[in-house]
Amino acid sequence: MAIFEGESPFESVEGDGIVVVDGAGAGKFAPTRSYTGNFTDVPENAWFYTYVKTAYEYALANGTSAAGFSPDGTFTVAQALTAAVNIHKAYTGNTVRAAAQGEAWYTPYVEYCVANGIIKDGQFTDYNKNITRGDMAIVFANILPDSEYAAIRTYTLSDMNDTLPSAAAVKKLAEAGIVGGSGGQYKPNDPIKRSEACVIFTRIAMADMRAK
């Protein structure tokens, strides 16, 4: 099983082909569509099937095409921030402005993240590079109030220690049952896969899917 166990931002054709889909509704998460085996590269026996299916049904993720999800694909910092914003919007009922003419499609999402304390100004300098597992944890540990990340287990990862920038965020998400490890390691410097990020999306939105 993969390290995070999930992935994929909400998508829409903005910049490098991501689809930006709004969250499920003001102040709550709810299914808005049905999954009918849409993605041929997401077989029912895949470890990530349930997460991709649920993320799609709750409008937390789309495919890279009508019939494909690209579960082993990576995604960028901009795409990760877009996903974070849309989850935050679904929870709070907030809105995000449209990109102005001539500015990058993701600029409003970066501004929203800074304004709402999801990231710090200048935290990222290249929004087009692939986001790492460590940076993903830092972003997604800040989306919802701390009460939504209540610890439900003790979880130790051998490659994480307090000197790492992502240590506190990984610990928070791991103990809340949102992320896990592979072979007892988190591998914070590796890029996250789309399949892996879907786990984060669904487990943040739906507490009953969190690992115990």
Identify the burial level of 59 via C-beta atoms within 10 angstroms of its C-beta, where 0-12 means exposed, 13-18 middle and 19 or more buried: buried
Element of type H or E holding 90? helix 77-92
Asked whether the predicted pLDDT for residue 20 surpasses 50, the reply is no
Give the range among 22-26, 147-151, 203-207 with minimum mean pLDDT.
22-26
pTM, whole model, 2 decimals?
A: 0.83
The SS3 of residue 168 is helix
Residue with structure tokens 């709402």? 116
Banded pLDDT at 17 (limits 50, 70, 90): very low
Q: Which residues contact 148 (CB under 8 A, 6 or more apart)?
A: 204, 207
Over the stretch 35-45, which tens digit does the pLDDT of each residue have? 999 999 999 99
Which range has highest mean pLDDT (6-10, 62-66, 113-117)? 113-117
Asked whether the predicted pLDDT for residue 22 surpasses 50, the reply is no
Query: What's the rounded mean pLDDT across residues 180-204?
Result: 92
Over the stretch 82-137, which tens digit does the pLDDT of each residue have? 989 989 988 998 999 999 999 999 999 999 999 999 999 999 999 999 999 999 99
Asked whether the predicted pLDDT for residue 152 surpasses 60, the reply is yes
Phi and psi dihedrals of 81, rounded to 5?
A: -65, -35
What is the reported pLDDT for 15? 31
For residues 204 and 199, what is the distance between their CA atoms, to the nearest angstrom? 8
Query: What's the rounded mean pLDDT across residues 52-81?
Result: 91
More confident residue, 190 or 10: 190
Banded pLDDT at 159 (limits 50, 70, 90): very high
Banded pLDDT at 181 (limits 50, 70, 90): confident
Asked whether the predicted pLDDT for residue 81 surpasses 60, the reply is yes
Q: Which residues contact 102 (CB under 8 A, 6 or more apart)?
A: none
